[in-house]
């Protein structure tokens, strides 16, 4: 597993070793020992699978209790995956970074507890799989508004895709970052 540089501490872009031949390919998407060597020791308790069409934006989600670390990958299609640092005492608090994850590049993103997470579907459709370190708790889930102008997240909408975002009603009600709950819990680092 190759670890690629990111600008946010704790956020890891991972590139698995892919073994391919004329029959197809094989890759190891998770190995507890390998991930421990990378510093990811959180146990995973839930796997999720999302299917979406082009220009769907999901997020930016986080949980105020039972915060989740997530290991995210697109197995078909392509997404622009976004992580926003909500760790109040982090030197990158309020900063975001985005990455292309696709069935073709096979990259994965480790998003530790203390980040809000979201993605935009770039391809016609995509299947996204992610492992979570804590259970989904809808009563504790919050959303930062995906298009908060103060954050200036570049979701890659240009030209004919400008204004084409497909966003759930729940995510349209997300709050701006300035009003989002800030975290001091030791679980958030």
33 domain residue, yes or no:
no
**Catalytic residue among 30, 49, 51, 61, which?**
61
Catalytic residue check, 61: yes
Q: What pLDDT, on a 0 to 100 scale, did the predictor assign at position 45?
A: 98
For residue 181, give the nearest of 87, 83, 59 by alpha carbon. 87
Domain count, the chain: 1
**Catalytic residue among 62, 89, 127, 130, which?**
130
Catalytic residue check, 51: no
17 domain residue, yes or no:
no
Q: Supply the range of the domain harboring residue 143.
A: 42-184
Give the pLDDT mean for 155-173: 89
Q: What pLDDT, on a 0 to 100 scale, did the predictor assign at position 187?
A: 47
CB atoms within 10 A of CB 13: 18
Q: What pLDDT, on a 0 to 100 scale, did the predictor assign at position 46?
A: 97
162 domain residue, yes or no:
yes
- CATH assignment of the domain containing 102: 2.60.120.10
3 domain residue, yes or no:
no
Give the pLDDT mean for 134-157: 95
Q: How confident is the model at residue 92 (pLDDT cuts 50, 70, 90)?
A: very high
Q: What pLDDT, on a 0 to 100 scale, did the predictor assign at position 182?
A: 59
């Amino acid at each position: 597993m190759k670890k690629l540089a990111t600008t946010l501490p704790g956020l890891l872009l991972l590139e698995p070793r892919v073994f391919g031949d004329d029959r197809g390919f094989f890759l190891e998407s998770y190995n507890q020992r390998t991930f421990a060597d990378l510093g990811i020791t959180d146990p995973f308790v839930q796997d999720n699978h999302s299917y979406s069409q082009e220009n769907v934006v999901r997020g930016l989600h986080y949980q105020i209790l039972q915060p989740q670390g997530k290991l995210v990958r697109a197995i078909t299609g392509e997404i622009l995956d976004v992580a926003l640092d909500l760790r109040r005492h982090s030197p990158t608090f309020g900063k975001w970074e985005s990455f292309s994850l696709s069935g073709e590049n096979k990259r994965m993103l480790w998003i530790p507890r203390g980040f809000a997470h979201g993605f935009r579907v770039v391809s016609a459709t995509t299947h996204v799989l992610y492992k979570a370190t804590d259970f989904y708790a809808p009563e504790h889930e919050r959303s930062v508004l995906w298009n908060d102008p103060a954050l200036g997240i570049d979701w890659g909408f240009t030209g004919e895709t400008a204004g084409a975002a497909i966003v759930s009603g729940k995510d349209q009600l997300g709050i701006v970052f300035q009003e989002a709950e800030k975290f001091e819990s030791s679980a958030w680092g």
